[in-house]
């Protein structure tokens, strides 16, 4: 099944555009067993999400055991729920082939984030997996995004050029864009440029992006094809033994808030 079909199926089934970032930080978790923590979060929220998104950095930071923990985490996610590898990979073509094979064939992720900085040949190996989603960094949610993404070439900021190129490269219909909720006007612009493309939208919650604006500008004409990622606000809503239950309550509240903006 294609990533976009899997995403839309789950989004409609759970009435959700919410993605939970599975980014375990042992210093913030109520216990030290990452596998059990992730499993509890997944079991508590599986009917509230459209996807999960593990950020590979948090697993790599755990050393050699981290990759095993990542594999175990992915196994706990129900097969009908898409899993996005937040890897931000980007390298020369031969290396990109190895990255794509690792993420899609070895770990079995449904989608991955990639960097466009090296150009088309660094993206192409990922796009060649036609059933997988490929989210290109376009207008990221961090404060330093302006350092490069606002630079103008031929009168256009770089992030707009990335969006336009992504549209040209999307020969299999499996490319999406990462656009932060912290930059609502840029999000509006990217959506107007790519009306049917799937957008992965971080930055609400802890980073302070405005949810109402992000929903209004981020969804497509049908109120779909937008993935709103929240990590810390849900994972660490409680540091007590009730963390899974509180995570569920928080996720459901955010899901409902997203949905409430769809009808306005």
In this structure, are residues 210 and 184 in contact, taking their beta carbons and an 8 Å threshold? Answer: yes
Q: Which of 6, 53, 75, 88 is catalytic?
A: 88
In the residue annotation, 88 being an active-site residue is answered as: yes
Q: Considering only CA atoms, which of 47, 50, 1 is closest in space to residue 21?
A: 50
How far is 7 from 217, CA to CA, in rounded Å? 19
Written as one string, the DSSP assignment of 117-167 is TT-HHHHHHHHTSTTSEEEEEEE-SSGGGHHHHT-EETTEEHHHHHHHHHH
Count of Cβ atoms closer than 10 Å to residue 148 Cβ: 12
Task: Quote the DSSP letter at residue 206.
Answer: G
In this structure, the strands spanning 84-89 and 198-201 are unpaired
Which residues are identified as catalytic?
88
């Amino acid at each position: 099944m294609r990533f976009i079909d899997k995403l839309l199926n789950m989004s409609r089934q759970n009435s959700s555009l919410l993605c939970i970032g599975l980014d375990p930080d042992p210093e913030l978790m109520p216990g030290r067993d990452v596998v059990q923590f992730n499993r509890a979060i997944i079991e508590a929220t599986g009917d509230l999400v459209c996807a999960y998104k593990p950020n590979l950095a948090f697993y790599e930071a755990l050393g050699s055991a981290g990759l095993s923990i990542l594999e175990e985490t992915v196994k706990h996610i129900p097969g009908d729920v898409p899993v996005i590898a937040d890897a931000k990979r980007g390298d020369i073509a031969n290396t990109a082939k190895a990255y794509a094979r690792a993420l899609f064939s070895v770990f079995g992720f449904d989608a991955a984030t990639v960097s466009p900085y090296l150009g088309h040949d660094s993206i192409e190996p990922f796009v060649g997996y036609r059933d997988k989603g490929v989210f290109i960094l376009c207008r990221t949610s961090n404060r330093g995004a302006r350092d490069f993404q606002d630079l103008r070439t031929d009168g256009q900021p770089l992030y707009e050029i990335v969006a336009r190129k992504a549209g040209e490269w999307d020969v299999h219909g499996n490319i999406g864009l990462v656009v932060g909720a912290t930059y609502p006007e840029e999000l509006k612009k990217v959506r107007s440029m790519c009306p049917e493309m799937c957008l992965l939208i971080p930055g609400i919650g802890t980073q302070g992006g405005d949810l109402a604006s992000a929903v209004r500008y981020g969804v497509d004409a049908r109120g779909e094809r937008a993935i709103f990622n929240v990590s810390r606000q849900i994972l660490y809503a409680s540091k007590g033994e009730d963390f899974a239950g509180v995570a569920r309550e928080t996720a459901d509240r955010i899901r409902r808030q997203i949905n409430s903006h769809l009808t306005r």
